[in-house]
Structure 1
Amino acid sequence: MWLLVFLVWFLGWAGGVYWYFFGRPSPFSEHCVRPPGPMELDQKKRDKVLKQGFTREKVPQNLDAIVIGSGIGGMTAAATIAKLGKKVLVLEQHDQAGGCCHTFIEKGFEFDAGLHYIGQLHENSLFRVVMDQLTEGQLQFAELKQHFDTIVIGTEEESRKYTIYTGKTEMEEHLKKQFPKDVKAVEKFFKFMKISARDTQYLAALKLIPQWLAMFLLRSGLVNLWSSTFRLIGTSATAVADSITSNKDLQIIMAYFFYGVPPRDSSSLINALLLHHYKRGAYFPKGGASEIPFHITKVIQKYGGNVLVRAPVNRILVDSNGAAYGVTVRKGQEDVEVRAPIIISNCGIFNTFKRLLPPEIQVKPEIQNRVEMMKPGRGSLLIFCGFDGTEEELGISSTNLWLFKNNDMDAMMDEFFSLGKDEAPDNIPMMMCTFPSAKDPTSKFRHPGKSSMIILTMVNYEWFEEWKDTTVKRRGDDYMEYKMRFANNLFDWACVHYPKFRERLVFQEVATPLTNNHYLGAYRGAMYSAEQNLKRYHVDVMAKNRCDTPVKNLFISGQDVFSCGIAGALHGGLLCAATALGQIVHVDLLLLKKKLKRRKAREMAALAQKKLQ
């Protein structure tokens, strides 16, 4: 009798597990991917997709989900849900969709707001499979030069230059040639990178399994028997670098992707993943970053949804039972109510919990606990420069330039961020120069004879806070003078390496944290959202910081879910879709990836057989 009961229970349990993982329709399929069509160059036609303004009439009836914010995290969640035949509405406060993936044109020069290059897009990689699914094969990428990054440490005669190459084996071998006395250290770091990349999936799994189970596995130490990733995620980049080598220049190479947190306070695993991201190649969207929201929007519309701009959400509606059921959108002088059973916020933890939720919900302990898990990130300052001249005339290429005043990144950043407002512009310790016009092959015929450069550095929001209540483009002469002090010093530094810039410069605009807050909705101007410090990457916080929230039917997407950057935000969107749907879409992606790889292997075998005949 008891054996029969056990068998019935076991078969029911096994059937439930099978149904949960494999029994429901997948949002992804190889059949939805079709050959890319011709690129849409008519700006008016593009604007009809990317700049469709909010009105009541454009809101689809019987919505299944609302997404606040059209960054890559929100668009990923929206498209994944839409591809199951659901109606999704994406609401964007700016006048065009895309978040950090949007582009803008000024004086004939095109600039990307936040996407500078992407990796892991080689054939049948998971990231490429995702991109193909979200755009149904319509997004095309240009692979950048193998020499994709240059790092210069020091100034004037004392500077040292290092070049970073892509390539499964070439990246490591090229670095060994530049550090012949540290070959063993390079090997150790690349082994560390490999472990980090291989086992990161387990960290994502923490956010998908029940929280009680995740906490049990962590606190019992069982997860450490499975992978070292759970320990490495909370180890500082400086600690790992010190254990590998005493060569400070090499340590910079291990953590040169700055995002506002010194290596001492940042996760060694995340820093390793950033470099590993480009190991198999660096890429740029053909047609610019706005091609991403352009094609994803079409997929959302295909299934009955829409993406509407100039739609600032000012409140998430919560009923008496504590469940979210809609949002209000500010339209002129009135609030327009839009309802759906699923609400997804892609505008960050702080905007969501401190600004959009009703005051009585914000003060609840469970909401406060979620907010206290993270700290607001540092602001970014960007300079958009337009030059009259081709890349050949200017001596630029698709290679990015990273500049550091010295090789002690911890001390450099500590000193800079502790400076007062007046001292900061004259003591900038690091910056990056990137050239979108040289990365995009279509730029040559879309913007002939013109080249663009973006300079990026990190700054304190407090340095610009006195102007926070002023209006964009009307912040006053003192604001303009202050931000131009940053711009002039950074541009002069760039001109040391590109002497032709000064005489060819015809356009320049500076974006401060206030600019990022206005156009991107970035809390305190932090383009990388919540600070990427060791606290947020503690395994307990990783397990607790989930896509679901204490408010029923409200979910979080984007950079605050897993990690920063385009790839981090995209994976945040996938995790959010999986949570909202109650369906682990990652299994569907992995099965599709395996299917595509098997098909490719058969094609290669058939081709080899044909050559032998």
Structure 2
Amino acid sequence: MMWLLVFLVCVLIWAGGTYWYLFIKPGAFSVESVRPPGPMELDQRKRDKVLKQGFTKEKIPKDLDAIIIGSGIGGMTAAATMAKSGKKVLVLEQHDVAGGCCHTFTEKGFEFDVGLHYFGQLHENAMLKVAFDQITEGQMEFVELKQHFDSIVIEDGEKQRDYTILSGKTEMERNLKKQFPDDVKAIEEFFKIMKITARQVALLGIVKLIPQWLALFLIKSGIADFCSSIFRLSESSATDVNNRLTSNKDLQMVFSYYFYGVPPKDSSCMINALMLHHFKRGAYYPKGGASEIPFHITKVIEKYGGRVLVRAPVSRILVDKKEAAYGVTVRKGDEHVEVRAPVIISNCGIFNTFQKLLPPEIQVKPEIQSRLDMLRPGKASFLLFSGFDATEEELDIVSTSIWLFKSNDMDGMMDEFFGMSKDEAPENIPMMLLTFPSAKDPTSKIRHPGKSSMTILTMVNYEWFEEWKDSRVRKRGDDYFNYKMRFANHLFDWACKHFPKLREKLVYQEAATPLTNTHYLGCNQGAIYSADHNLGRYYSEAMARNRCDTPVKNLYLSGQDMFSCGIAGALHGGLLCAATILSYRVYIDLMLLKKQLKWKKAKETARLAKEKKQ
């Protein structure tokens, strides 16, 4: 009888504790914190006061709870979530403007996005939309792009084949079936994979949040695999899955056209499926440009007593004798300013954090090296920014993003290109993304009348540019300039084949090499997508071990390295980091908010229907 009583008391305590944790314990997020968007701030001086606050000792908030290294979306998300939880945070950015890959720059009257070209999952009450509304308190507005958001162009010798990718709950699949009528079954199977990955990918986040010993037990025992096929999909090569589905090389290209430096044979089928599914309910662009994201998140951080300071390069993470992080040093001219806090979050990538910022005696520790051995550096990016004195209509440009390929054999052409010598590479680029940010944002016509901008992205080897890594930015010499312009000229000529009016209206052009990315964005070896997204990274055990906490007590990681590349991947890396530090139900709160908003919408719809009948 006594044991039964003890058991019942334990059950009641557990149930009460769970109820308190889920429904009573104060959280960071709430419906009430979201308010209607205010008028867009067009005064650049006022925007600079938010985005370009230079670091000084006097601006450091007192009694800091956390320091965040890097103002990319991962760091800003972690910072805003912690700030809304009552923590006083300081974000330190080495560049002269906040935002990381979300920042924009303006030259000669032309505005360019750096790393944000478009993203999805922002339809009403989508998880990403709910998260954005919380970290910006509802101030971000997004423009939904045309349904035809992507074009895939395969230039196989003299033959050119164009495929359109449409957004839409049913339209995306139906449109592909029209273009590939002999592969209907393959498309249906791939869309089943997309649905499974979208619904069950949260389980890969959960293995990063539950105790590591429990996650490894569930994976190694086979329980995790028995419960969900997501663990098998994450470990499946995209090429293997594509070959199983179809022998049509063009369709295989469609299943894997989002390039991030890893050929399909070495990448996870799950990641490629997630990327396409990401746009199933629409593609979006920030109204006012990508810099709106750091602009509004900074305001939220400041609202709760925090700061975002730029021109604040962190030179070292401070670690005490007990191997616990307790602060950072910031380089200010010839001085190194020490800033202390009980929690340090690094959003500058695992390689920069472990190999450059930690003290040498900590870097060599086996537990640090084993974490590094789980990942490898990502492929570098090359970007070309072009400005035109002409309108969208005069240039015949579109908001659709154009993905250009020289072949339908992604594995073959990537292996061949990345295996080329430094001198062969510039004239043999096999793929590029062509996008017009000015055509995506309707406010561009107001903010930059009569002007249009184009961004081109491709992947390159860092080693091709490495000989100039120790030279100063903008003073790298004629050899460097001429070499990078060989890449730039090839990319621009390729773009002009598809948009002939570009050439005569070109008035500004700048090429960003891996060295540029390293200088301005702090990317390790110029990789804007951070660590390599190879298949080994997405093995279940690797996912469980690659988590936000680190072998150094009080030091945490955020951003793309914690889950996947892109704005959405980095944002989730920030949420995972905040959840780990706060021991807080971040995702449960977001799901409950999503349900609450859905019920609210249903009630409103029912009320309007009732009024209409009356």
CA offsets, 1:176-221, max 9 Å, x none? 1111111111111111111110100111000011101100100111
Q: Hey, what's the Cα distance between the residues in 1 that align with 2:89 and 2:461?
A: 36
Q: Is 1:365 equivalent to 2:366 in the alignment?
A: yes
Q: Hey, what's the Cα distance between the residues in 2 that align with 1:162 and 1:77?
A: 38
CA offsets, 1:324-362, max 9 Å, x none? 111110011111111111110000000000011111111
Match in the other structure for 1:422: 423
Pairing 1:181-330 to 2, within 5 Å after superposition: 181-330=182-331
Q: How many residues align?
A: 613
CA offsets, 1:272-308, max 9 Å, x none? 0001000000000011000000000000000000000
Match in the other structure for 1:488: 489
Query: Given residue 89 of structure 1, which amino acid in structure 2 is its aligned partner?
Result: L
Q: Is the 8 A contact 2:156 2:408 kept in 1?
A: no
Q: Is the 8 A contact 1:344 1:554 kept in 2?
A: yes
CA offsets, 1:441-481, max 9 Å, x none? 00001000100000000000000000000011000000000
Tell me, which stretches of 5 or more residues in structure 2 are unaligned?
none
Query: Given residue 63 of structure 2, which amino acid in structure 1 is its aligned partner?
Result: N
Query: Given residue 585 of structure 1, which amino acid in structure 2 is its aligned partner?
Result: V
Match in the other structure for 1:523: 524
Query: Given residue 542 of structure 1, which amino acid in structure 2 is its aligned partner?
Result: M
Query: Given residue 397 of structure 1, which amino acid in structure 2 is its aligned partner?
Result: V
Q: Is the 8 A contact 2:144 2:282 kept in 1?
A: yes
Q: Hey, what's the Cα distance between the residues in 2 that align with 1:238 and 1:517?
A: 31
CA offsets, 1:114-153, max 9 Å, x none? 0000100000111001111111111111110110001100
Match in the other structure for 1:508: 509
Q: Hey, what's the Cα distance between the residues in 2 that align with 1:584 and 1:246?
A: 45
Match in the other structure for 2:583: 582
Q: Is 1:455 equivalent to 2:456 in the alignment?
A: yes
Q: Is the 8 A contact 1:120 1:277 kept in 2?
A: yes
Q: Is the 8 A contact 1:394 1:498 kept in 2?
A: yes
CA offsets, 1:163-187, max 9 Å, x none? 1000000011111111111111111
Q: Is the 8 A contact 1:317 1:326 kept in 2?
A: yes
Q: Is 1:82 equivalent to 2:83 in the alignment?
A: yes
- Give the secondary structure class of the aligned counterpart of 2:5: helix
Q: Hey, what's the Cα distance between the residues in 2 that align with 1:540 and 1:438?
A: 43
Q: Hey, what's the Cα distance between the residues in 2 that align with 1:142 and 1:388?
A: 24
Q: Is the 8 A contact 2:318 2:326 kept in 1?
A: yes
Pairing 1:510-589 to 2, within 5 Å after superposition: 510-589=511-590
Q: Which moved more, 1:420-429 or 1:10-19?
A: 10-19
- Give the secondary structure class of the aligned counterpart of 1:575: helix
Q: Is the 8 A contact 1:147 1:164 kept in 2?
A: yes
TM-score by length of 2: 0.99
- Give the secondary structure class of the aligned counterpart of 2:535: coil
- Give the secondary structure class of the aligned counterpart of 1:506: strand
| RMSD, matched Cα | 0.9
Q: Is the 8 A contact 2:27 2:584 kept in 1?
A: no
Q: Is the 8 A contact 1:405 1:430 kept in 2?
A: yes
Q: Hey, what's the Cα distance between the residues in 1 that align with 2:524 and 2:34?
A: 36
Distance 1:243 1:156, change over 3 A: closer
- Give the secondary structure class of the aligned counterpart of 1:145: coil
Query: Given residue 42 of structure 1, which amino acid in structure 2 is its aligned partner?
Result: D
Q: Is 1:387 equivalent to 2:397 in the alignment?
A: no
- Give the secondary structure class of the aligned counterpart of 1:535: helix
Query: Given residue 399 of structure 1, which amino acid in structure 2 is its aligned partner?
Result: T
Match in the other structure for 1:611: 612
Q: Hey, what's the Cα distance between the residues in 1 that align with 2:281 and 2:415?
A: 33
Query: Given residue 283 of structure 2, which amino acid in structure 1 is its aligned partner?
Result: A
Q: Hey, what's the Cα distance between the residues in 1 that align with 2:533 and 2:355?
A: 19
Match in the other structure for 2:57: 56
Q: Hey, what's the Cα distance between the residues in 1 that align with 2:518 and 2:261?
A: 16
Q: Is 1:12 equivalent to 2:47 in the alignment?
A: no
Displacement, 1:156? 6.2
Q: Hey, what's the Cα distance between the residues in 2 that align with 1:280 and 1:231?
A: 26
CA offsets, 1:480-499, max 9 Å, x none? 00000001111111111001
Query: Given residue 265 of structure 2, which amino acid in structure 1 is its aligned partner?
Result: R
Displacement, 1:78? 0.2
Q: Is the 8 A contact 1:21 1:583 kept in 2?
A: no
CA offsets, 1:215-246, max 9 Å, x none? 01001111122110011001011011111110
Query: Given residue 595 of structure 2, which amino acid in structure 1 is its aligned partner?
Result: K
Displacement, 1:13? 3.1
Q: Is the 8 A contact 2:345 2:558 kept in 1?
A: yes
TM-score by length of 1: 0.99
Displacement, 1:322? 1.2
Displacement, 1:608? 1.2
